[in-house]
Structure 1
Amino acid sequence: MNEEDIKHILDKYKAGSASDEEIALLESWYLQFNLPEPEVLNEQERMEAFNRVGTHLNINPKVKVRKIFWPGVAAAAILLIVFLAGLMLFNNPSGADKQMAQRDVAPGGNNAFLTLNDGKKIDLSSAENGELAKQSGIKVTKLANGQLVYEISALASQPATSNAAIAYNTIETPRGGTYMVILPDGSKVWLNAASSLRYPTVFEKNKQRKVQLNGEAYFEVTHNKLSPFLVETNRQTVEVLGTHFNVNTYTDEQAVRTTLLEGSVKVNAGSSHLLIKPGEQSVLTGNKLTAMPVDVEDIVAWKNGLFQFSDENLESVMRKISRWYDVDIEYADEHIKQIPLTGIITHFTNISKVLRMLELTKQVHFKIEGRKIIVSK
């Protein structure tokens, strides 16, 4: 497949006639080279994009490009190989590929449940857009883009009396669901699959803003130096004033991880305390807190609709796939769990396509049986 073939696919994308498989592959390809979106490219810009790809293929040592799947091989070359091989695979699927597709599992989506203070439970995936509830001067609204917003009246924003009970809501995502909520103080929270967040419907003036998290969430906290924002989990507390960070506290992970993108946060776990900087991640294993530098893009890729991993072992990658597609994972060969993988794959495609891209490593094979994925060598 030559440059003209790739240009043909880009033309199809621009015309809106590209298949789902071609779109997914193009998105991954463009992400690797930080190229502009295909639909905004004119002919000259498109050729400049190919020149940039050509520069990478010449292995310019000044250009940092992510490797895809196979270590020890030129990164950009491997990227193009994966792109072209994947396209050929999708256009000419083998018998095994066709069988896998017939047993396919659709991706997750914008799904969550909201439990109000009075115990009423609302399915946000099926609820109509608009006002969902009113609670003591608080209006809860579902927007057309799937966001949940809390609006506070002037009365509700007044300091609560000592006898006033604080009302709490809980938003929880199932396996295969994500959701975004704008809290009463304007802070934004993205919940990953199989997660929950409990929070007050009003944050009291000049007091700590406390929320409780299970699972994983990305936070963009509204700055308020008089009211620290606390994220409590079953093993630690993250304290901030206003910042962007990700907390992963899934119980099936070996450690609790807090990753900072902007600002600063203090992580408290028992008698251990740690202040981390942007680009760092705190790791809580047992009672021990440590900090390490990380690629933050890998950590928050889920929020942007991607599986993204750098030298991450297969078992960890499959846990993410399990949560997003709501499937169980079974290993026919335990020794393959530690195989390192590096790559980017879109969230918004059926599981068979994700698994087939992983199979291009030639190190792993998958079989779909209902909602169970069997992994073998």
Structure 2
Amino acid sequence: MDKQEITHILDKFKAGKASDEEVALLESWYLKFETSESEILSEEERLDTFQRVGANLNINSKGKKAIALWQSISIAAVLFLMVSIGLILFKNQPVNDAQIVQNDVAPGGNNAFLTLTNGKRIDLSKAENGEIAEQAGIKVSKLANGQLIYKISSSATKLSVVNYNTIETPRGGTYMVILPDGSKVWLNAESSLNYPTAFEEKKQRKVHLKGEAYFEVAHDASSPFMVETDNQTVEVLGTHFNVNAYNDEQSVSTTLLQGSVRINAGLAHLLIKPGQQSVLTQQKLKVLPADVDDVIAWKNGLFQFSDENLESVMRKISRWYDVEIEYTDENIKEIPLTGIITHFTKVSKVLRMLELTKQVRFKIEGKKIIVSK
């Protein structure tokens, strides 16, 4: 953009009259801010730009960008969203929801159910903070920041029978649990984890996952940590990794961030390194390079995708907002999208950002999102 275009859009932006496309173009220019572009404005004008736009975007005065992704489908309508210290672009920008929705849908949050060994089911979103259960000397506590933690009390005795708990997140829910060995697990929406309330010494630490979870496993060389899904087992000693094993996905993917893991699926076995992802499809395993930021974006409260097809993106939106997706044109499911936006906004804003591609349109009817071309 030249100086006249920049100042024109800035004036509209300040008056609250800039369109979504103009705001996206302004922010993409502002965040990229290459030398050749910065020379368009004087230093005084640049500082004024940073103050006026940066105040809305929560970016420092030096114009340092955190994450910037842009959509190449339509240059005329750039889908350019950005994150700065966990804050999202457009968060203060009004969105004309009337063009998209009849009924908006609120985002999910820290919601989960805990089922104890005795069958008691606890709604963690309603439970008071503090100790919520004790099982054979194992204390279960809910923390104020939406976490569940297990601690073995000094009075606990060695058990002859291993007890198991299950934590389940509904559609529109996430939760974090700290297991008895200190391992941390973040559960994505519509997922469950079954695990023992205490791990026996020098034996396998085994848990069973349905859905998606991110693991930070406490290191113990004498006791391998095993994550079982319906189709594979991930074996580790101490490492950080993500497992996506939703039933409605075409494959099971395991992405490694730190350490090393071994994937076992029937007769297939392989080791992956940090930055790699194993993909299991119909009992066939392969290793691919991974876009780690995209994979764990959900854990950081984001929708983030790079050349991901529309159908895959909409599955994520469906789980988080607990909505049904309906397509009026099956051919649009493969449209590739690139972008980033917060989980913690109403669905209309997410859909409006996707509409900036000019490739797809949305309408909400009750708990259904209708996708059309």
TM-score class, shorter: 0.7 to 0.9
Structure 2 gaps of 5+ residues are 15-19, 33-50, 83-88
Give the equivalent residue in structure 1 for 2:242.
246
Cα 1:171/1:191, change in 2 over 3 Å: same
Cα 1:227/1:65, change in 2 over 3 Å: closer
Distance (Å, rounded) in 2 between the aligned partners of 1:271 and 1:5: 60
Q: Residues 227-306 of structure 1 correspond to what in structure 2 (within 5 A)?
A: 227-306=223-302
Give the equivalent residue in structure 2 for 1:122.
122
Matched, 1:68 2:90: no
SS at match of 2:128: coil
Matched letter for residue 69 of structure 1? Q
Give the equivalent residue in structure 2 for 1:79.
80
Matched letter for residue 106 of structure 2? A
What is the RMSD of the two structures over their aligned residues, measured on CA atoms? 3.3
Higher relative contact order (CA 8 A, sep 6+): 2
Distance (Å, rounded) in 1 between the aligned partners of 2:199 and 2:205: 6
Distance (Å, rounded) in 1 between the aligned partners of 2:95 and 2:180: 52
Cα 1:263/1:253, change in 2 over 3 Å: same
Distance (Å, rounded) in 1 between the aligned partners of 2:207 and 2:248: 22
Q: 1:8 offset after TM fit, Å?
A: 12
SS at match of 1:105: coil
Give the equivalent residue in structure 2 for 1:189.
185
Contact 1:199-1:212 at 8 Å conserved across structures: yes
Q: 1:3 offset after TM fit, Å?
A: 7.5
TM-score of the pair, normalised by structure 1: 0.80
Q: Residues 1-377 of structure 1 correspond to what in structure 2 (within 5 A)?
A: 46-49=60-63, 66-71=68-73, 79=80, 90-91=93-94, 93=96, 97-98=97-98, 100-156=100-156, 159-160=158-159, 164-377=160-373
Contact 1:159-1:205 at 8 Å conserved across structures: no
Contact 1:221-1:241 at 8 Å conserved across structures: yes
Q: 1:314 offset after TM fit, Å?
A: 0.2
Distance (Å, rounded) in 1 between the aligned partners of 2:109 and 2:354: 22
Contact 1:67-1:74 at 8 Å conserved across structures: no
Distance (Å, rounded) in 2 between the aligned partners of 1:7 and 1:148: 49
Structure 1 gaps of 5+ residues are 11-20, 54-63
Cα deviation digits, residues 99-143 of structure 1 (max 9, x gap): 645500000000000000000000000111011000000000000
Q: 1:72 offset after TM fit, Å?
A: 8.1
TM-score of the pair, normalised by structure 2: 0.80
How many residues align? The count is 329
Aligned-pair identity in percent equals 66
**The structure with more helix, counted as a fraction of residues:** 1
SS at match of 1:310: strand
Distance (Å, rounded) in 2 between the aligned partners of 1:174 and 1:92: 28
